[in-house]
Amino acid sequence: MTERSTLYPAIDVNRSGMLPLDAVHTMYWEESGNPNGVPVLFLHGGPGSGASPKHRQFFDPDFYRIVIFDQRGAGRSTPVGEMGANTTQHLIADIELLREMLGISQWMVFGGSWGSTLALAYGEAHPERCLAFVLRGIFLCRSWEIDWFMRGMRQFFPEAWSRFADYLPADERDDLLGNYHKRLNDGDRAVHMPAARIWSVYEGECATLFPDPAVQANYGNDNVALGVGRIEAHYFVNRIFLPENALLANVGRISHLPMITIQGRYDVLCPPLSAWELHQAWPGSQLEIVQDAGHSAWEPGICRELVRACEAMKSRLA
């Protein structure tokens, strides 16, 4: 990979807007970087966390035309936490609507965590629209990965998991996902908001190798918590609206394209096994294991390797 390994300086957007999707949902989108550059689509995690201005800084603004949007129910899209008409298929259609509106024929797809899930789902649905992939913290949303999030992470973060589980009454802890989902769907803010905050903070506490107050504070923000808690539970209960193991089973649709995965060795949210299995199923792909990192894109090693991956792709896309 090439030498640059630090984030690019902060940049302003060239243009942005709110794209109506249906009678309920409106989607925030933005463009930055080189208007005539190679398009790159940034897909945020969660689902439900939203994007931030800092995400623009992974990309060389002289080379890339940087497209970022907040998925249905997340970030600056409205209404936040809305689960109606919110499925993987809706998100894929939203990406296509945005691509067509912007007049882009093909783009590189960049996504981490749930963003990697959506990147694969989109790519497998529309392989002809993809140039390459840079992925992080692979999450294939199989049953064991969901179960790991709900219970398995206690093996590494028992204190955080206990706070998460103990929020529910003792007689509801046999079905954490189902009973959290009920509370998160409750129309009373006094019911759904505390549950969303507990869910989101649990994720934030498990997201880094060492405690990171900035990451944890972001997950505790009301807007982020509502999006993450509600929408993650919604997608987990519905198994991301795809058959079990569909993303890995259909990877042959995109495995002819360049792909680099950045994976933290000690990623507790998205264990490295999924990244390894994706790499094995994708001939010619690159898997970079960061030995001193957990899950978050802002871990120093993860951040460094994501920038290097985007730099490496420039020679393939020029």
Which helix (H) or strand (E) is 65 found in, with range?
strand 64-69
- 44, 274, 295, 296: which is the annotated catalytic residue? 295
**Helix or strand run (H / E) with residue 57:** none
201 phi/psi in degrees, rounded to 5: -65, -35
Q: Which of 267, 274, 279, 296 is catalytic?
A: 267
Q: Which one from 113, 116, 274, 296 is the annotated catalytic residue?
A: 113
DSSP state at residue 305: H
- Measure the CA–CA gap between 161 and 192, rounded to whole angstroms: 19
The Cα angle at residue 236 between residues 68 and 207, in degrees rounded to 5: 60
Size (the chain), residues:
318
The first and second tokens of residue 203, run together, are 């994720």
Contact status, residue 282 vs residue 276, Cβ threshold 8 Å? no
Q: Is 113 a catalytic residue?
A: yes
Token readout for 34 is 């080189």
Tokens 């936490």 sit on residue:
81
Residue 74 φ then ψ, to 5°: -125, 150
Helix H or strand E segment including 133: strand 130-136
Active-site residue, 143 included: no
Please name every residue paired with 136 in a beta bridge, in sequence order, or none if there are none: 112, 262
By annotation, the residues acting in catalysis are 113, 267, 295
